[in-house]
Amino acid sequence: MARIPLAEEMRPKNLDEVIGQSQLLADGEILRQIVRKQEPVSLILWGPPGTGKTTLARIIAHEVNAEFIELSAVTAGKKDVMQVVEHAKQNWNLNLRTVLFVDEIHRFNKAQQDAFLPHVESGLITLIGATTENPSFEIITPLLSRSRVLVLQPLSKQETIAVLKRALKHLKKTKHVTPAALDYLAELSGGDARVALGNLELALSIDNKKVTPEIVKVAAQKRIPGYDKKGDMHYDVISAFIKSMRGSDERAATYYLSRMIDAGEDPKFIARRMVIFASEDIGLAGNGALALAVATFQAVERIGMPEASYNLYHCAIALARSQKSREITEHMYAAKELAKQYPDAPVPLHIRNAPTKLMKDLGYSQGYKWQADYKHPNGFLPDELR
């Protein structure tokens, strides 16, 4: 007989069993409120794979005593939606709520999303949509305005390990997996509980007596990276990446970039560092660098990996090739130091605003001309600084 996959077998049945997402599940937070008040609201659950979107939708439906109907936008069409609506009308007559869960709702086009509107608005169905894409760009505005958007975060390493330990306890195999193997399984998962449990299940099928990092390596078919996203290697590699770009060595920069990506580093962390670099180390020597770095950060946010790898390499090579200047950095630190030394220096009267006659009579804005590039004879700094 076919066995239920471990990830499905370990799916939480109530909110107390859910690991992670404390920003939504803590006392007083929205999901607790929905369950306590028994009043479901339409939701858009936005987050990466394996963070519990389907699980939370099922739990909500069960907790509010509603019928749970699930559709995938990959395979369903408008006809399927209308069939659900007809079924919901029957439930309505029986005084039974209907929760419609649409996985990957961003794949529905505008017309298909429009089909939900009147039924969500009337309360006939409570819609819970799941998406890995930014709802601002993928979900029509009228539907967004009738729903609450909840952001789910990838599980932390410790949360993933907690999921794995719970599964091992369920399987009565808590002593069959070494701590190092658990750590590696969590590292490989990238915050995706489903991936972590899938790799654990496969590793146990290879050796159900003792799972080591080497067994996990075979199961996951990935090389164990010597990289800890919170350890020294994390800081050493990002430092080498930055210094390679600063030294205009694009080959070294892309090598370190590859190491970070292969190790599962957060691509937004990498993109964020390049945004800083664009002003800190290039600045006025290449005014287009900042725009490119910001565009890269946005691309990483909106496209996601692995496709956004192109954008990360594009930006890293461009920044490495760009002329370098520390002018912005030097100006910034000099200005900060000056502000610390003279935090209370009065602004000169001749560049203060003069909205009243009295203020003009007192010398406010005296001699100032509103024209392009006008340089006042007395300058712009307080007297003690000039």
More confident residue, 266 or 99: 99
Residue 236 has what pLDDT? 84
Q: Is the pLDDT confidence value at 350 over 90?
A: no
Asked if pLDDT for residue 14 goes beyond 90, the answer is yes
Q: Give the dihedral sign, CA 107/108/113/119.
A: negative
- Among 121, 151, 181, give the residue marking a domain's end: 151
**Domain membership of residue 375 as a residue range:** 344-386
- In a domain? residue 308: yes
CB under 8 A, 24+ apart: contacts of 181-185? 181/211, 181/212, 181/213, 181/215, 181/216, 183/157, 184/213, 184/216, 184/217, 184/224, 185/160, 185/161, 185/216
Q: Residue 230, SS3?
A: coil
User: Residue 327 domain-assigned?
Assistant: no
Q: Band of the pLDDT at 83, cuts 50, 70, 90? A: very high
**Number of independent structural domains in the chain:** 4
pLDDT at 316: 97
127 bridge partner residues: 100
Cβ contacts of residue 330 below 8 Å, gap of 6+?
Answer: none
Residue at 13 is within a domain: no
Q: Are residues 91 and 129 in the same domain?
A: yes
pLDDT of residue 336: 92
Q: Does the structure show a pLDDT above 80 at 174? A: yes
Q: What percent of the chain has pLDDT over 90?
A: 63
- CATH (domain of 262): 1.20.272.10
Looking at the domain assignment, is residue 3 inside a domain? no
Q: pLDDT digit string (tens) for 23-72?
A: 999 988 999 999 999 988 999 999 888 899 999 999 999 999 999 999 99
Mean pLDDT, to the nearest integer, of 345-373? 85
In a domain, 107, yes or no: yes
Is residue 379's pLDDT more than 60?
yes
The confidence band for 227, taking pLDDT boundaries of 50, 70 and 90, is low
- Same domain? For 240 and 141 the reply is no
Q: Both 181 and 301 in a single domain?
A: no
Q: Say yes or no: 75 and 168 in one domain.
A: no
Please give the pLDDT value at position 200: 94
Q: Residue 228 pLDDT more than 80?
A: no
* Same domain assignment for residues 373 and 277: no
How many residues does the structure list for the chain?
386
Q: Stretch 263-279: mean pLDDT, rounded?
A: 93
pTM for this entry: 0.60
Spatial distance between the Cα atoms of 299 and 309, rounded to a whole number of angstroms: 10
Tell me, yes or no, whether 199 and 146 share the same domain.
no
Please tell me whether residues 137 and 99 are part of one structural domain.
Answer: yes
**Together in a domain, 216 and 248:** no
- Are residues 259 and 210 both part of a single domain? no
Whether residue 274 sits in one domain with residue 216: no
Question: Has residue 7 been placed in a domain?
Answer: no
Residue 362 has what pLDDT?
A: 85
- Residue that is last in its domain, among 151, 181, 205: 151
Q: Which of 220, 252, 273 is the last residue of a domain?
A: 220
Q: Binning pLDDT at 50, 70 and 90, where does residue 10 land?
A: very high
* Average pLDDT over every residue of 230-246: 84
What pLDDT does 374 receive? 82
Q: Give the model's pLDDT for residue 360.
A: 83
193 shares a domain with 281: no
| Domain membership flag for residue 333 | no
pLDDT at 226 over 60: no
**pLDDT tens-place string over residues 303-334:** 888 899 999 999 999 999 999 999 999 999 99
Three-state SS annotation for 309-347 = HHHHHHHHHHHHHCCCCCHHHHHHHHHHHHHHHCCCCCC
Domain with residue 70: its CATH number is 3.40.50.300
Looking at the domain assignment, is residue 334 inside a domain? no
Q: In the structure, what pLDDT confidence band is assigned to residue 274 with cuts at 50, 70 and 90?
A: very high
Q: Based on the domain organization, do 209 and 292 belong to the same domain?
A: no
On the question of pLDDT at 5 being above 60, the answer is yes
Task: Assign 230 a pLDDT band (cuts: 50, 70, 90).
Answer: low
CATH number for the domain spanning 210: value is 1.10.8.60
Tell me what pLDDT residue 222 has. Answer: 61
